[in-house]
């Protein structure tokens, strides 16, 4: 997700250990894990809604296009 290497993860862990402390670090890590899961789930829901909207718009455009093309094809057939 963030494209972090092993050394970056260790550095973040050490900094968190210094600032948060060893007692609260597991609680903070659990909270951040849940937060990351919630954000990932929300992004998935958002992407799903966007995809449904785009699909619906494409279907409406296709339907409008076919409704416009029908009279044109009919007039072409009558002129031949």
pLDDT digits (tens, 9 = 90+) for 22-41: 899 899 989 989 999 999 99
Cβ neighbours of residue 28 closer than 8 Å, sequence gap 6 or more: 16, 20
Cβ neighbours of residue 29 closer than 8 Å, sequence gap 6 or more: 16
pLDDT score recorded for residue 3: 78
| pTM (global) more than 0.85 | no
Q: What is the end-to-end Cα distance of the chain in Å, rounded?
A: 61
- Six token digits for residue 77: 């057939």
């Amino acid at each position: 997700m963030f494209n972090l290497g092993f050394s970056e993860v260790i550095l973040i862990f050490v900094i968190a250990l210094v600032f948060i402390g060893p007692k609260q670090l597991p609680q903070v890590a659990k909270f951040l894990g849940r937060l990351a899961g919630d954000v990932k789930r929300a992004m998935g829901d958002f992407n799903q809604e966007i995809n449904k909207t785009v699909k619906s718009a494409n279907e409406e455009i296709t339907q409008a296009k076919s409704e416009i093309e029908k009279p044109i094809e009919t007039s072409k057939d009558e002129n031949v």
